[in-house]
Amino acid sequence: MLTTTLFLLGLGFGSAVMLAIASKVFYVWEDPKVAVVEETLLGANCGGCGYPGCSAAAAALVAGKAGANVCVAGGYEVALKIAAIMGQEVELKEPEIAYSSCRYNLVEADTRFIYSGVHDCRAAALYGGGPKECPIGCIGMGTCYRACPFGAISMSDYGLPVFDRKKCRSCGICVEVCPKDIIYLSSTTTRMTGDFRTDECTTPCQRACPSGINIPAYIRQISMGNYEEAIRIIKERCPLPLIVGRICPAPCEMDCRRTLVDQSVGINSLKRFVADYEMESGKRIYPFRAPENDKRVAVIGGGAQGLSAAYYLACLGHKPTIFESAGRLGGILRYVIPESRLPEKVVDWEIEGVLAAGAEAKTGKTIGKDFTINSLLRDGYGAVAFATGGIDSRQIMHGRGDVVQSIPGIYTLIDFLTVFSRQENFRTGGTVYIFGGGNSTLEAARICSGKGGKKITIIYPFKKQDMVSRGIKVDAAGREGIQFLFETVICGISGTGEELTGLSLIKEDCSVEEVAADTLIAATGRISDLIFVRPGNEDSRPDAWTTLASYAMNPDNRYDDIFNLNENGVFNDNLAVIRSIAKGRRMVRALHLFLNGKELEPQINQIKKWMKILNTKNIRGVNTNKRNIMQSNLTAASYCDPDVLFNSMEIGSGFSEGAATQEAGRCLDCGLVCYKKSAS
Amino acid sequence: MEYVVLVITAILIKNILLAEYLGNCPFIGTSKKMSTAIGMGMAVIFTIALAGALTWAIQKYALNPLNLGYLQTIVFILVIAALVQLVEFFLKKSVPPLYKALGIFLPLITTNCAVLGIAVLNIRRDYNFLEMLVFSIAGSTGFSLALILMTGIRERYEITDIPRPLQGTAISLITAGLMAMAFLGFSGVDTALKALQ
């Protein structure tokens, strides 16, 4: 008995002493904050932050490797609590809500087979990608619904996931589990600055729209009577719906799938209807306003492109200032398009809307005369964006003889030939580059050699044979001392103060070469879409500036050069207001990334114009239903008076509410291959 | 050859989980996810090897000389619990990567009956030190093997239509039973191996 007691006592005591010593010897200091922070985190271990679980995130937070906003799932409230513990300030992250664009369930969409196996999308997708005909169609078996740790996904009655914007914590688990890769996180910013994706269900009209307005979505909202929501959707991609609704040539309507049955849906007239609704209500509707920051951007040009760029910059919280050389903002919209098509009060209302969004405007100021790129950058503008858009050459704007040079050392070919080269004391720099390949390019090269040019090089984007076959005497010019660079494009311009110093060229083997240059003559009608910024830390010259690769720059297309001959795979021009708006909107992507100190990268999975996208050429089961025609304001009297006809009245009167609802009901609410069939 | 038979017997024929029915709670508890199961398996092998050696020594050099054999169970539990705690301290300080891999499983094993079971079996079968070590490692390897096999099956249950009343632990116990029956097929292998000698 005694032995037993003593033995057990001894053993217990021995163990206790040993453990006590061990806990001292092997003591590891742990920051008590880690435990406190971990308690604050949600504990869902969703991994949305990029760390393996909440405890790892807490450790990273305390170690200073992650910011207080690391927990995407917890959002602002959790970030505030953590910041209080850590003594930090919080930077608000815009919520990115999970989103799937598929709208047709397994009953209504075309299917290839009936699947009756394990009720899980991942299992169903193993059989040739699932039962749906459409490669990006939702299988609808709720894998995402079961995976969501926050209960933000519910399966609707028609078998497609519905994402609850309030509950979604942007953790990205549904994105990961979806075997069809059709769920992605989307924020208003990404929709404003991005383009349609290949893993998104897009319709022919959406893809035809140069600016990529989500057409079926806004028409659906109109048919349900949610006009404000419709405006919000339009304004994510087009800030001037009142103007576009009147003068857009509507390429979307040409591609409308309803043309396979009868006539296209009046897409643009519907846009005008909701835009008119907004103007009549007097209440301005904005899609999204980010918290303001103090990053200033100078937007050169107050036309459609400049207004669009300024609008989106303002919506993303930056402070844009529009510099317009004319007396009033609006460019072609105000000065060229007749009153009968676009009344001035409409233009005024839209411009007021852009200014009310947070843009500033300085009119009667011309770049090159009243200020320069360098002076703007010196004044604290983070970037200078050229949105000089559709008005060709400086001459049209200012008249002959009053042409100013907007970028140091750079001339458009037409300005050079007709104005600058004729000035008596005009001198080019020693090293001249000329971008182009026509006879007038050669002419300009010869003029340069008489005006101080020592080394003259012509840069041509295509092959030598292309130039020769157009009757241009390349070899003869070569004997005169003019050098040629074939299959080369310019991808960057840099300078110091008021002087051009260098060009970046993409050579035929896709390598990038920096060359010194004093003068650049570009055989383009306009200089547009250039973004000037101060270079990074590696350049120590005080007044250095350089161009930012614009949105269109894409490594897989060499010909997407800085003069934007190509954009998204099509020739770049300003033929329609919506194209200028699209260019302005796309510039903002590069600007926004740059101002936030992020890498400029092309958007992933972006749909390009040349891509073959699944489409359907046959429509069955849709009853004919003729298009509504907008009432005309014309009367017999107005026909007789050209003054009235062209100057004082607008011809179209817009849809009535009834006509708009009816027209919106004609929309087939297409998907990639799906469409709404008439009730039989 | 003797050791080969010992190893095969411990892993396949007299599997601690499927034939001895020891350590069933972690078997059901940690077999939902492969990464957890592997971590648990490794932690069990590590702990059983250590605990087996220590309890064997205590039995041989303390309990037997003092004639306190009847205290075996209580002493072993105490020793194992203290040992696991000590190992946890040690790993945390000295081998952080191993602590990260096994850390959260160690407390789970403190009062695991598989650990105690093997410690007791070592004594009952009167193994010498080497036999004890081989048996401890082989027995715990058998535990890990069964655990990992079970996890492979249970991961498939995630996407399988299981009748509602059977979902969860019920189907796991049925599976464990079927696995035990399958392992029964190994019985006799040891006799055959011995006959080969």
Which is more confidently placed, A75 or A21?
A: A21
Contact between chains at A26 and B89 (C-beta distance less than 8 A): yes
In this prediction, residue A383 carries a pLDDT of 93
Q: Residue A539: is its pLDDT beyond 70?
A: no
Of A3, A12, A23, the CB nearest to B66: A3
The two three-digit tokens of residue A646, written as one number: 């062209």
Burial-class residue A280 by CB neighbours within 10 Å (0-12, 13-18, 19+). exposed
Q: A560: pLDDT confidence band, cut at 50, 70 and 90?
A: low
Q: A402: pLDDT confidence band, cut at 50, 70 and 90?
A: low
Helix (H, G, I), strand (E, B) or coil at A300: strand
In this prediction, residue A492 carries a pLDDT of 86
What average pLDDT does range B34-40 have in this prediction? 82
Contact between chains at B85 and A19 (C-beta distance less than 8 A): yes
What average pLDDT does range B117-146 have in this prediction? 92
Q: A171: pLDDT confidence band, cut at 50, 70 and 90?
A: confident
Q: Residue B48: is its pLDDT beyond 60?
A: yes
Contact between chains at A118 and B159 (C-beta distance less than 8 A): yes
The two three-digit tokens of residue A461, written as one number: 């984007």
Mean pLDDT of chain A: 84
Residue B140 and residue B42: Cα distance in Å, rounded? 9
Q: Residue A142: is its pLDDT beyond 60?
A: yes
In this prediction, residue A554 carries a pLDDT of 53
What average pLDDT does range A34-44 have in this prediction? 79
Q: How far is B65 from chain A (nearest CA, A)?
A: 12
In this prediction, residue B57 carries a pLDDT of 93
Comparing C-alpha atoms, which of A35, A65, A37 is closest to residue A51?
A65
For the ranges A27-41, A179-193, A564-578, B67-81, the lowest mean pLDDT is seen at A564-578
> Best residue in B73, B79, B89 to probe A by mutation, most A CBs within 10 Å?
B89
Q: A41: pLDDT confidence band, cut at 50, 70 and 90?
A: confident
Q: Residue A562: is its pLDDT beyond 80?
A: no
Q: How far is A116 from chain B (nearest CA, A)?
A: 12
The interface residues of chain A toward chain B in range 2-21, judged by CB-CB distance below 8 A, are: 3-4, 7-8, 11-12, 15, 18-19
User: How big is the A-B interface in CB pairs under 8 Å?
Assistant: 47
Q: Residue A395: is its pLDDT beyond 70?
A: no
Q: Residue A551: is its pLDDT beyond 60?
A: no
Q: A355: pLDDT confidence band, cut at 50, 70 and 90?
A: very high
Contact between chains at B92 and A25 (C-beta distance less than 8 A): no
Q: In percent, how much of chain A has pLDDT > 70?
A: 90
Q: How far is B96 from chain A (nearest CA, A)?
A: 10
Give CA separation, A425 vs A405, A420, A442, in Å.
15, 9, 21
> Residue A483 carries which side chain, given as an amino acid letter?
Q
Contact between chains at B93 and A12 (C-beta distance less than 8 A): no
The tens digit of pLDDT for each residue in B65-94 reads 888 888 888 899 988 888 888 888 887 887
The tens digit of pLDDT for each residue in A629-652 reads 877 777 666 666 766 666 656 777
Strands lying side by side in the sheet with A455-460: A410-412, A519-522, A431-435, A455-460, A483-486
| Axis crossing angle, helix A215-223 with helix A657-666, rounded to the nearest 10 | 130
Residue tagged 């539990």 (tokens)? B77
Give CA separation, A522 vs A239, A366, A416, A478, A566, in Å.
31, 20, 9, 19, 15
Helix (H, G, I), strand (E, B) or coil at A111: strand
> Is residue A581 within 8 Å of residue A575, measured between CB atoms?
no
Q: Is some CB atom of chain B closer than 8 A to the CB atom of A336?
A: no
For the ranges A33-37, A538-542, A573-577, the lowest mean pLDDT is seen at A538-542
Q: Which residue of B has its CA nearest to A143?
A: B159
Give CA separation, A349 vs A243, A353, A387, A390, A650, in Å.
10, 6, 21, 21, 16
Contact between chains at B90 and A26 (C-beta distance less than 8 A): yes
Which is more confidently placed, A403 or A104?
A: A104
- Which residues in B63-150 belong to E strands, given as ranges? none
What average pLDDT does range A333-356 have in this prediction? 89
Q: Residue B160: is its pLDDT beyond 60?
A: yes
ipTM for this model:
0.77
Comparing C-alpha atoms, which of A537, A502, A451, A567 is closest to residue A211?
A567
∠ CA B104-B110-B116, nearest 5°, is 140
Of A3, A15, A118, the CB nearest to B161: A118
Q: What is the DSSP string of A262-274?
A: SS---HHHHHHHH
Q: Name the pTM for this structure.
A: 0.73
User: A28 contacts in B (CB within 8 Å)?
Assistant: 92-93
Helix (H, G, I), strand (E, B) or coil at B185: coil
> Is residue A531 within 8 Å of residue A547, measured between CB atoms?
yes
Q: Which residue of A has its CA nearest to B77?
A: A12
The 3-state secondary structure of A649-674, one letter per residue = CCCECCCCHHHHHHHHHHCCCCCCCC
DSSP label of A123: H
In this prediction, residue A439 carries a pLDDT of 87
Q: Which residue of A has its CA nearest to B62?
A: A7
Give CA separation, A79 vs A33, A151, A414, in Å.
15, 21, 57
> Is residue A168 within 8 Å of residue A152, measured between CB atoms?
yes
Alpha helical stretches, state H, A510-598:
577-595
Q: Is some CB atom of chain B closer than 8 A to the CB atom of A29?
A: no
Of A7, A23, A122, the CB nearest to B89: A23
| Axis crossing angle, helix A54-62 with helix A32-40, rounded to the nearest 10 | 130
User: A123 contacts in B (CB within 8 Å)?
Assistant: 159
Q: Which residue of A has its CA nearest to B96?
A: A28
The two three-digit tokens of residue A345, written as one number: 């009060």
Q: Is some CB atom of chain B closer than 8 A to the CB atom of A425?
A: no
What average pLDDT does range B41-63 have in this prediction? 90
Domains recognised in chain A with CATH numbers? 28-93 (1.10.15.40), 99-186 (3.30.70.20), 367-595 (3.50.50.60)
What average pLDDT does range A534-563 have in this prediction? 68
In this prediction, residue A325 carries a pLDDT of 85
Mean pLDDT of chain B: 86
For the ranges A89-98, A132-141, B18-27, the lowest mean pLDDT is seen at A89-98
Q: Residue A91: is its pLDDT beyond 80?
A: no
Which is more confidently placed, B158 or A256?
A: A256
> Is residue A134 within 8 Å of residue A232, measured between CB atoms?
no
Q: Residue B63: is its pLDDT beyond 80?
A: yes
What average pLDDT does range B148-168 have in this prediction? 87
| Axis crossing angle, helix A227-235 with helix A215-223, rounded to the nearest 10 | 170
Given the DSSP bridges, would you call strands A519-522 and A431-435 parallel, antiparallel or unpaired?
A: parallel
